[in-house]
Structure 1
Amino acid sequence: MNKQLRLLIVEDSEDDALLVVRELRKAGYSVVYECVDSSESMDAALEREWDVIVADYVLPLFSGPAALRAVREKGIDLPFIVVSGNIGEDIAVAAMKAGAHDYILKSNLKRLVPAIERELRDAEVRRERRMAEKALHDTNTLLKLFTIQSSKKEYLDSVAGLLQQWTGCEAVGLRVLDKEANIPYESHVGFSDEFRESEHFLSLGRDHCVCPRVVAGAPDPYELKYMTPNGSFHCDDTMEFLSHLPDEAKARYRGTCMKVDYMSLCVIPVFYRNKILGAIHLADRAKGKVPRKTVEYIESIQPLIGEALHRLNVEEDRESLEAQLRRAQKLESIGILAGGIAHDFNNILAAIIGFSDMAREKVPPGDRIKRHLDRIYEAGLRGRDLVKRVLTFARQAEQEKKPLLMSSTIKETIKLLRATVPSTIDIHFDIKTESGLVLADPVQIQQLVMNLCTNAIYAMREKGGKLTIHLSDFSFDDISQPPVARMNPGNYIKLSVADTGPGIPPDIMEKIFDPFFTTKNPGEGTGLGLSVVHGILESHGGVMIVSSEPGKETVFTAYLPKYVEQSRKNEAAESVIPSGSERVLFVDDEETLAELGQELLTDLGYQVVCKTNGREALALFRIDPDRFDVIITDQTMPEMTGIELAKEIAASGFVTPVILCTGHSQMVDAEAARAAGIRSFVMKPLTKREIAKTVRQVLDENRA
């Protein structure tokens, strides 16, 4: 039998102390002991852990009662046995009343072992009772916290404070596993700002150290010695731990806790049922600060934290989904309104652009009127671009999508921006994928990157900071846990734009994607930047999430579906305006635009007949179907829409090509137009070159 016993002896006689030790060793105990004989040495000894205290009653510089008082003042509950050479019954009774558990004469040490074993059993019973009472109290405290705190952050902050109070640890952190396999600190107390910034965003897949391994449930072989049966890492001396690491492991081991001299280190997984949700991180610069029994105790209560964290995560996800739904519904309503306005505005712009374009051709170069007409024409084109931006937000603009290398687009955009970026702002690239393709409109993707970066730069204009652009692959296959609502499982390109500006106040977070909402000063922005970003992403099947910590940083993260096919489509640009002599039926309910169409096409050499009503145009066509080589029609017209006219013509059995030209219609896109037999679908307002190219292309294809 080899029972371990840590014995503190209050005795000035080494011989008498050895008699006590010898008696215990005869009973099979492996005794580790220390002798003290003064108040100072007693106080120092009580900083360490002991199983039992044996004290002489009278010493030259100290006494048993004084030692007993020191134990009680420190709130230590240990078996305390008085062993004296000569003690009267009255003194023995006084010692017992003061808190001693037994008294034994040195002449009768055969009573020592039974007395110690009895008191050790009683002490264990008292310890278990205290632990049960503490567990009940702490459980009630944790349950109460869950009911009174209004958010996950408040709850975890309170839990971190309680854990620091219960353990006495210098630093406590609570890491929570997110949907991208990162384990950021959701709450922390006691860590320095430098440590927290360095260790905040650890990743299960990227970072090699204790916290990710514990949360992953996959410790390395050299960590097994320090693991508890419940999956916690417990180390009383991190320098000893590092000394046992193989050289290969040391080279890749992060070990920031050790580098800042945390000697005691514990990482305890937080479970919800059998799933790890995060970890409790305890650190202290003193060795042996967290006893094994404290780790076991936290392991026993962590399921309460896991249950609360799961419920808070579910509630947070629900609120996030509801907010995204409200935002989507609001933006959809605004988009419908914007699209309707765009239709009327495009008709106005079509007249401005078309008539000014024709007028410019009739005025000699250098003439003052020619310059004025050029300015009108240019203003019309700018107005057209603005309408396209509004329609992009409304997801109703036609796009030319093709496979696009995101890394190249980002680098080109930053080249354009760099000249306008103040020297106080550093630009940092973190491009993890050079080959990631998306099927996208290059101009719109560049605009997306440009808008996000210019917003970030504006946020840091006064104090400077760091603009970080991160590009990586991302995939998920669990439809029940999408990173963002309405995001389908699959492979994505993930683009994050982060700035270290003042952050976005929570009270305006819901408004940032609203058209014309801006916090910029008058004249500094239109408020369309982020709404356009939202529209571009929606039209490309992408999604976005925004996170912002006021006073620290803001991160916009966009997910775009990854494109795997490698086909490319190239179109050659024509250098001259094509013309012709064929017969054209032009239909538009706006008399101004009908007049414009007739003059413009006549200038190009075509024979043109105009109608301002779809039914009239159909009747004219049916009289002599061979009279026209092509029909150009508006979509939104009274009595009969353009697509209805096209269907009637197709139903007549004739193959006269139809071009659908409209200012806006959310009911028709290019695919719907082709299904109705329409050969080409274009959006107003068009320039003379654009309409000429479209007409010529359709006529040539029909002839072929």
Structure 2
Amino acid sequence: MNSLCVLVVEDCESDASLILRILTKAGYAVLSARVETEAEFRAELTHRDWDLILSDYSLPGFSADAALNILRQSARDIPFIIISHNIGEEAAVAMMKSGAHDYVMKASMSRLVPAVEREIRDAATRKDRRRFSIALKESEARWNFALEGSGYGVWDWNIAEAKVIYSSCWLSMHGYQCIDMLGNFEHHKSLIHPDDINQVELAWDECITHRATRYRAEFRSKDHDGGWRWVLNRGMVVERGLDGKASRIISTHADISLQKKNEQLLVELNGDLERKICERTAELSAALDHLAESKKLAALGVLVTGIAHELNTPLGNIVLGISTLSDELETLSDQLDRGAISRGGLRSQLVQWRENAQMALRNSSRAADLIDRFKQIAVDQVSHAKRVVNLGEIIESCIDATLNLRSSVEIKCETEIDQSIQLMSAGHLEQVISAVLMNAMQHAFQGRTSGIVEVKAMRVDSEIFISIGDNGIGIKSDFCQRVFDPFFTTKLGQGSMGLGLTIAHNLVTGILKGTIGIANRQSGGVLVKIKFPCDPLNVIEDIY
């Protein structure tokens, strides 16, 4: 049961009782007071918060019109319904215009309850609206205070009336006075740069017609002196009409001129930086090309020096032997002319000539062998006959041929090889494996009587991996990058020319299209890793 506080202005007690009974029957718990005079009405009006006032139209010494005037003066929003026997239509209309909410004829009391329910409901709605309006104004006041304090300008757009109100901070930001502003929306639009107005209007339209609650736009706004200032505008819809369209938007204005200036400066600096990077890149590329060319020339110099050094000895021996032989032939010719040669002397000369000739032949063979090795370095070889071979068999053959060459060191070889790997034309790979194994035999086990060599081979996807390691004395770390250079050897003059690993490197990278590297093992010794595509045949066919 809903409670209802009713102030009844009625001089007839029975009529007042009837009214209260009707309301009670309708389900209200009625708390009431009846007054007949102006003094009583004034006293009761301030005594309690009334939900409803029901007044007779005419009383002795008082009237509904007088009561309504007193209610308006009090500024209280209380539903006021006139109940009368004889109020005319014109008088009823006049009372409604003066502020009465409804009227009910005593002859038609069935209308009383619906009229009361409607007016109580409407009064509650008006009360909620007033409370919301007060809260909104307080919130706006706090918001404006905070924004003004932080340097943000505020402008309030009443869309229905096309009016705009500006905060003092907004005016100060652009150098305006209140009298400079017309206060209408068209004037506000004229302050936006022509190149920016379209994108700003699109943002407004999103809020007004598409029910977006907020918008954000950056544009140039005109100052009082005619200059343009970059601003960041953020807006929020605070009211909407019954059709759902925004009817009021409040926006903030922040000066971002310095930010835009810095952005432009940053663009210019980035452009300048990119230009300098391009210039430096070109310079670096030229320097790298020059360095590469210098390295090629230096490598060529080393190679030529090495070739000259290696060929000098056998060629010198050949020249010595042939020149000696030539001198002795001249001596023999002179002796024959003088008849001063004996059979025994001739035989002795023949022995010396044979030795000189054999020396020249040996050194010629050595020079030819050196030239063949130099040709291998250039990877200028004719492809081996094409045949399918097993990688395991190739490795085992190289091990048998290489590790048995040295008997002073007992070598144990451990293998872990995928026997399913088949290769085509593997002669180049045999040279590579043999060169690496020979290098281990010559350098890994100096000062030792035994050692272990480990060979592993496997296939991973489309590549073959081979590793050859030993448990020997290792290699100096700064030598790891030099072992593939031509004529680099730690046994100069001891039968090593320093070409084995160079040839292996060139074969792997040039023919097999793979990679080869060398490094010390943590457990001791050296590990050589070789990687190349599974089908070297296709690579060879592409080259030749």
Report the TM-score, using the length of structure 2 for normalisation: 0.27
- Greater helix proportion: 2
User: In terms of Rg, which structure is larger?
Assistant: 2
Report the TM-score, using the length of structure 1 for normalisation: 0.21
